[in-house]
A and B are shown apart, each in its own frame.
Chain A
Amino acid sequence: MNKIVSGADEAVRDIANGATLMLGGFGLCGIPENCIAALVRKGVSGLTCISNNAGVDDFGIGLMLKTRQVKKMISSYVGENAEFERQLLTGELEVDLVPQGTLATRCMAAKYGMPAVWVKAGFGTEVAEGKETRRFDFQGEEGNYLLEPAFNADFAIVKAWKGDRFGNLVFRKTARNFNDPMAGAAKITIAEVEELVEPGEIDPDHIHIPGIFVQRIFKGSNYEKRIEQRTVRKRG
């Protein structure tokens, strides 16, 4: 078994115009930098991107916004991104804002083979408009829940720290974020990793994503890992 592809360009080769993509990361932390660059090179357009955030003007998904490749963003927070704002105001870009936990759970549901989940988040707000609701007596408390559908994506593109040719993955620190619930949540999952190791090198007890969820893997290169908010304290 060998899921290794030569690089990002081969990994994204069959992503067609109009595809729905999941992209891992939180802010700029743990984003699939190599695949985003390959998608920009490929010039594929009309994409629907499921991603917690939309990058910044000149990095992350911001690069795909600049080249007008994105038709719709499904995100919880789109932050400081002037190009994003401009496209939104002119109607070039559609945005579906989803509560962050609901976003993660709709990925998880797809990965776990569940068509929908009941969640409390957003009940009584505009997020609930047009959605089925139900009262549950759950864990000793009655409450109102919204039915939220699992995502239906063509590709999940994730970034991990280490992986092997079977597709087993390990993440590092808070770069795990959405990469974990997205890995395995689409028809095809592409993983880019910082280190490609031999099967057996990762302790089986330490594997975060079993390889069955991953179809393509490659070793990424030239990671910039840009920091959005550099906060430090003085020594001494």
Chain B
Amino acid sequence: MLDKNGIAKRIAQELRDGYYVNLGIGIPTLVANYIPAGINVMLQSENGMLGMGPFPFEGDEDPDLINAGKQTITEIPGTAYFDSALSFGMIRAGKVDLTILGAMEVSEDGDIANWKIPNKMVKGMGGAMDLVAAAKNIIVAMQHVNKAGESKLLPKCSLPLTGVGCVKKIVTELAVLEVVKGKGFVLLERAPGISVEQVINATAGKLIVEGDIPEMQLN
């Protein structure tokens, strides 16, 4: 079973040289720590920046330089700043190659719910609806089951949707799965020490298991 860093590490293997990538808050942010050697990616922050650098050294924080999670960050050589409308313009026009975000639920049709729980204070969708509606390639980083032990990979989402038919891949503490239209969740890889049966038991939506399922290679 993977921890949060393990999930981030596995997702980092999906990065390709030259990609523009938008990382959501939470586990997706950790992906930046595991970018493979020889791979150069440009991180997009939807509040208006391409080429996001690491956190600043103590004392170097700049209140005019934050990421979409409102954290202080730094620029790198080649950074570009822009406004919110242009930022979502590049997202909407499909210029961002990969979006990685968290989810509360994903359906076997690729629907995603990650912004609202009925009868709880709603904080808002932020940029999530724009990102999932536009991205060509969306990977969801999340736990396979919720705190109550219920599967988050469902036939249909029970929570209000963020987007319809948009998730392409899911990486959880148990597995890597691809969402294939008309089929369901196709099991691609198992986490180290996890059996196919464990993935089947933790998946409420339609799970496709074809042939031998390899274990993830993490190093």
Contact = CB atoms under 8 A, between A and B. Distances in A.
B72 A231 contact: yes
Contacts of A179: 83
A176 B48 contact: yes
B130 A97 contact: no
B91 interface: yes
Interface in A202-236: 208, 225-235
A179 B48 CA distance: 11
A126 B70 CA distance: 27
A26 B88 CA distance: 14
Interface residues of A, number: 58
A103 B75 CA distance: 26
Contact of A231 (B73, B75, B89, B121): B73
Interface string B30-48: 0000000000000001111
A229 B84 CA distance: 20
A229 B70 contact: yes
A27 B66 contact: yes
A194 to B, nearest CB: 10
Interface in B1-54: 45-49, 54
A180 B85 contact: yes
Contacts of A232: 55-61, 72
B130 A101 contact: yes
Contacts, number: 184
B81 A77 contact: no
B148 interface: no
B163 interface: yes
Most buried by A among B45, B111, B123: B123
B77 interface: no
Contacts of A180: 83-86
B212 interface: no
B66 A174 contact: yes
A166 interface: no
A175 interface: yes
Nearest to A178: B84
Contacts of A101: 46, 84-85, 87-88, 91-92, 127, 129-130
A97 B91 contact: no
A26 B84 contact: yes
A78 B129 contact: no
B129 A122 contact: yes
B122 interface: yes
A43 interface: no
A176 B164 contact: no
Contacts of A177: 47-48, 83-84
Contacts of A161: 64
A123 B127 contact: no
A135 interface: no
Contacts of A172: 64
Given A173-B62, A227-B61, A99 B130 contact: yes
Interface stretch (A2-10, A11-19, A61-69, A104-112): A104-112
15 contacts: A26-B68, A29-B66, A76-B127, A85-B121, A100-B88, A101-B85, A102-B130, A105-B88, A125-B164, A126-B161, A174-B65, A178-B83, A227-B63, A231-B71, A232-B58
Interface of B: 45-49, 54-73, 75, 81-89, 91-94, 111, 121-130, 133-134, 160-165
A-B residue pairs, 9 tightest by C-beta: A101-B88, A101-B130, A180-B83, A124-B164, A77-B124, A225-B63, A104-B84, A100-B127, A99-B129
Interface of A: 26-30, 52, 75-79, 85, 88-89, 97, 99-105, 107-108, 119-127, 139, 161, 171-181, 208, 225-235
